Structures are given as structure tokens and as C-alpha cells.
Amino acid sequence: MESGAIVTTPTLVYLHGVGRGDLKQEWKDQLSQGLARIGFPSLDDVTVLNPVYADDLWEDPEAQHNFAVPPVQKHMTLSGLELLEFERRTAAMETRLGRHNRGAGGAFPEAVVSRSVELPLFVQARNFLNNQQIRAQVHRRILEQLPTEGEIVLLGHSLGSVIAADLLRRLPPELTVKGFVTIGSPLANGQFNVDDLFKLLRTPLSNVSWWVNFWSGSDPVAAKRGVSVAVPWVLDFRVKTSLVPGPGHSSREYCANDAVAEAIGFGLFGSRSKEIVLAEKNLQIPLNDAEIFVLQALRYCYLILQRLKGDEALRYEYALRETQDRLIEEIKSRNAEEGRPIPKEIARLDFDNGDPNAAAPVPGLSPFMPKEQAIERLLEIIGQNLLLPFEIEVPEKIQREALRDFTAETQLGSTVGADIFDALQMAVGVVSGSAKSNWRKWGAFGVGAAALTAATGGLALAAVPTVAGVATVASTLAAFGPGGMMGGLVTAGTLLTVGGGSLTAGVLSSVNTTEEIEALVVQKLSLAILWQRHEIDRTHEVWEEFAEAERLIVREHTRVKNVSDSSSPILKAFEQQRSTIERALKYLSDHGMEPGWFEELEPPAPTPFLKLRAKKTD
């Protein structure tokens, strides 16, 4: 924004329900107090329009008017990239307010609303729904008082929410609804589908930035459910109001709620300032392994984003934005529990995801890592979907280019990035038996084994005692429990660096599929290939782990075979897992990565499935 630019606050328009139209304007007083209470300006300097149309909701036998309901504007539904932008704004509101909750509803509350429409108290509502002349009068009265251009925040209570929804497609074309908030709305009830309104609102509208509905379980008009039952693109949130039915439905009670004030305040004023305060501003807080992993993952994704274009770039940017917000929030929460200050590298990545116009800061360069450590980390990063639950397939050429730049800017050299992709492709060919197999299939599966084991075993993976005692996960997983980060990053640092026994634990876990076992073998074999290529003398570690895994698979296969049916899928899975390990061991042996027996304390016994060949020594 240029210096000296004038910021115009949208006009707040309130549409009332049945009765005389909230003449005391208690809703406004409560809302203004709520805005100030949570850090927004009050309504003192906001233009507030409160059209009164109560008289127009009554039948007048002597009236000679013949108004027509204003026509709907054409071409107002969204599609393509515009729809993606709407989803982004809606997701931002959910981030700001909490999780969508449309409620369960029920036969009794539904019947209460349906029967209530027939009561004398609700004759005004019945008139609006059934009398086209009255409906036209109400629309005309409201439109006469609205601006013809600019921005408004629209707030509708009870019947006013129905009137407001009916007006959306009839507003002047230059007038934009910056935010639409409904409270105590009966729109979930089919009787309020005036003039096939639900069909007209089946998709988001181009003149509405977002629509948030608040309902209360003690509000009989809301019938224990939200508006998204009828209009699927509405965000529903449950709030508490008085247990007494009358006050529980009142606009005064709803507008006293901080969540309602938050939504309206954001529509009127935008995002409040948000920043992380470091405990020691002059102290350089060192990054732990989990924080480094997050920085590296986000940086790699950003390098991918730079190369994407069009619709693919917009979708990827949205997914990356959501991922960055989730990861930074998780780090902040975890560090707060541990009393650990936030490193400045993490603090600078924080932003207000509840504001769709707030830019997500660009991740900085990855901290330097020795080649041996970097190879393991980068293999983890590219071997899993970092943007889960979103799935966006990026061409391998772009991923290679992004990783090449990543390794170049971290002083590892661009060839390291190319080597990692080559090793993955080679390992996939060994495991699948085809050099043309897509390694990304195994990348998607790769999250599963460790994630499921972590979810069932807490913050540590226990190795089989006969292998290496109890091996705990490195500091990365210890920093993020199963209830924290979603998707691949919950297992950061576990697939490759957990140490001896991680593969064995996966093989024997009943929650893991053969595909997940294959994914672990692909990643371990890739690591051995990279170690050999870069002359890191650790390839024997992978051989030993594969050999031990094979021995245990044979043992489990024999134990299960003696009891199970010969056609058992479990037996077939053991055979496939055994075959996978065989191929991996053969590759290691053929390429000089099988250790000599003189290096072993106790030579492993030959198995029926693979004859181990001892190397000749001088």
C-alpha cells in the first residue's frame, strides 16, 4: 500500500428478523463491545445501516403497489481459479475461527421449526416466504438504503438471514459483500427454500468473499444444525447462547460472542497484527533437528513452486501456504509446552493464515549440513509427500531442478541433488523389478510404515530386542508426536536415521502393508547407493539390516504357515516381502556392498531363500 493511501472501511449492513426490527439496537452495542474486547476498533467510526422493513412484512389489503422481485444478476457463480481463490478465503476463515461444525440436527428440532412457521408469532416470516408482493416490497426497501458500489459486510439474523441470502444475487453489480455473517438462521429448514433459493446458491457467488454462519444448540430456530446442510459452501460454527429459548435466539446474545465479533471484525478491518515475541531478542536461539527439517522441507517446496505455472502453481501455492502455517503453529505450540524460545528463523516464517491476503514469508536458505547427514535428510524430504493431505503431482524434471538448486545453495554442489534422484530411481528398479517404475509411488507409501508405527507406539519406535535392543527415534520425531504434524513430517527423521532395527520393526508390525515395507526398502537401498557413490563407508549397515529383516521374515513366515490356510493373503504378503529383501540383498552383493564374514562377530546363518556369498579375503 502506498504511503498516504486512504483505507475505506466497508459499510456494516444488519438485516433483522421478525418483530419491530431491533429498535433498541442492542445487537450493535454488544458487537461494538466485543470488537474492542478482542482487539479490533469499535463501531464508532463505522457506517452502520440498519434497514427497517418490519411494516413491509405485513399484508396490507389496501395497498395498490405492484412491485416485482428484483431480478438476479447473471454469471455470478465461480469456477476454475476463481473457485480456488474462494476456497482459500474460506480456509482462512476456518483457520481464524476454528473447525467447521454443521451440527447433527434431528427430527424433533426440525419439526419444531417447521411447525413454528405456522404460528401467529411468525406470520411475518410466512408472508415473506409465500407472498411475492411482500417479498418484493422488502427487497425494494432494503436496496433503496444500500450503496450501489463499494464493499459491505452483511449481517443477517433469523428471518433477516433468509432475506440476506435471497438478496445476494440481486445486489448492484458494483457492490461486493466483503463478508457475510448469519446468526440464528433457519435456512437449514426446507421451508425457507424461497423461490428455489438453495438451487441458486448451490455454488459460491462471485460477489461474496466468504459466508460464515453461527448457530447455537439452545436456539430453537437453528434446529441444532448449520446452514451448510442447505448451502454447502457455508462455514458453520457452533456458539453458546442462553439456555432459555427466547434469549438463546436473540441477536443480542449472538453478537456478544467473541467468535461472531472476530468474523465481523475481520470483514470490516482486516487482520489484526500478529507476531511472535522471542524470550531473548538478543540471543541467537539454535535450531533443533525438527526445526531444521521444517525449514529444509519448506525451502525445497518453495523452490518447486518457483518453477510451476498457471493452475498448478496456484494450487501448489495454496497447499504450501496451509502446510507452512500448520508446521509453524506446531513448532510454536511444542516450544511453548517445553518453555523453549522460538528461533528467529522460525519466527520470520509466521503469518496470519486467517487473512487470505497475508503473504506467507519465503523460507530462507537451509542451514549447512555435512554431506553424510545431508544425503539422509534430502532422501527423506523428496521421498514423501510434504504437503499432505494435499496431493499435487509435480513433474520429476521440476523436482530435480529444485533439488539441484537446493544442494547448490547449501554448498553441497548441484550434482548431489542429481545423485539422490538417480539413487532413488535405481532402488525402485531393484525393488519393483522394472527400471521404468515410478519412484514417486514409493515416496507416497513411504510415510505409512513409520507414521502408523509412531501413531501406535507413541514417540519411539521399538526395535526387536534380538536385533539392537530398544532404539528410540531421533530428536525430530521426539519433537512432534502423533497428535501433531499431519502426513510425512510426523515421521521426520525416522525412515533413515532411526538406526538398526527400524526396518525390522516395520516388517513385523501388523499395521504395515507390503507396499509400506517396499517403501522402506527403497529408501534404505537408495541410501546405500548414495553412500557408495560418495565414498561413505557405511553400506554394511544397510546390508546387515536387510539380512536381519530377511531372517525374521523367514521365521514369521514359517510360524504362520504351519497354522494358516495355504491361500492366506498374509502368507502371500510374507512371500512378497521376502522377495523384496532378496532382490535388495542381491543388488548390494553384486555391487560390492556385502560385508566380508571376517567383519562379523557371528556369521549369519544361510537361509532357504537366499544363499549368502562370503567374500574372499587375502
Alpha helix (H) residue ranges in 433-567: 439-457, 465-468, 475-479, 502-508, 514-533, 539-561
284 within a domain of the structure (yes/no): no
Query: Looking at 511, 536, 561, which one is the last position of a domain?
Result: 536
Looking up residue 198, the CATH number of its domain turns out to be 3.40.50
Report d(CA 414, CA 582) in Å as an integer.
33
Phi and psi at 615, nearest 5°, equal -75, 145
Which of 86-90, 249-253, 595-599 has the least mean pLDDT? 595-599
Confidence label for 512 from pLDDT (cuts 50, 70 and 90):
low
Please tell me whether residues 504 and 440 are part of one structural domain.
yes
Q: Rank 77-86, 260-269, 351-360 by mean pLDDT and report only the highest.
A: 260-269
- Three-class secondary structure of residue 286 per DSSP: coil
Confidence label for 349 from pLDDT (cuts 50, 70 and 90):
very high
68 within a domain of the structure (yes/no): no
283 within a domain of the structure (yes/no): no
478 within a domain of the structure (yes/no): yes
Please tell me whether residues 262 and 293 are part of one structural domain.
no
Q: Is the pLDDT of residue 550 over 80?
A: yes
Total tally of structural domains belonging to the chain: 2
Report d(CA 476, CA 294) in Å as an integer.
10
* Range 60-64 average pLDDT: 59
**Which residue range is the domain that position 488 belongs to?**
289-536
Q: Which residues, 6 or more positions from 451, have their beta carbon under 8 angstroms from its beta carbon?
A: 487, 488, 490, 491
Query: Looking at 488, 507, 536, which one is the last position of a domain?
Result: 536
Query: Looking at 480, 507, 536, which one is the last position of a domain?
Result: 536
Across the chain, which distance is largest between two alpha carbons, in Å? 116
Please tell me whether residues 214 and 308 are part of one structural domain.
no
Q: How many helices (H) and strands (E) does the chain have?
A: 23, 6
Please tell me whether residues 262 and 408 are part of one structural domain.
no
CA nearest neighbour of 248 among 109, 399, 76: 109
296 within a domain of the structure (yes/no): yes
Residue whose grid cell is 453458546: 240
Please tell me whether residues 243 and 300 are part of one structural domain.
no
Give whole-number Cα distances, 188 to 157, 221, 224, 238, in Å: 14, 10, 10, 14
Please tell me whether residues 300 and 265 are part of one structural domain.
no
Q: Which residues, 6 or more positions from 7, have their beta carbon under 8 angstroms from its beta carbon?
A: 1
Q: What is the pLDDT of residues 414-470, one digit of tens each?
A: 788 888 888 988 998 898 876 665 655 555 444 433 333 333 222 222 222 222 222
Report d(CA 167, CA 66) in Å as an integer.
19
343 within a domain of the structure (yes/no): yes
User: Burial level of 613, CB count in 10 A (0-12/13-18/19+)?
Assistant: exposed
Instruction: Pick 493 or 521 by higher pLDDT.
Output: 521
Please tell me whether residues 239 and 361 are part of one structural domain.
no
- Three-class secondary structure of residue 239 per DSSP: strand
**Phi-psi group of 157: left, alpha or beta (phi > 0 → left; psi -120 to 50 → alpha; rest → beta):** beta
Report angle CA 272, 274, 276 to the nearest 5 degrees. Answer: 165
Q: What is the pLDDT of residue 60?
A: 66
Please tell me whether residues 199 and 322 are part of one structural domain.
no
Q: Is the pLDDT of residue 494 over 90?
A: no
Please tell me whether residues 257 and 294 are part of one structural domain.
no
328 within a domain of the structure (yes/no): yes
Please tell me whether residues 256 and 339 are part of one structural domain.
no
Please tell me whether residues 246 and 355 are part of one structural domain.
no
Instruction: Pick 243 or 264 by higher pLDDT.
Output: 264
238 within a domain of the structure (yes/no): yes
Confidence label for 74 from pLDDT (cuts 50, 70 and 90):
confident
* Range 389-397 average pLDDT: 89
Please tell me whether residues 304 and 251 are part of one structural domain.
no
C-alpha cell at 594: 556385502
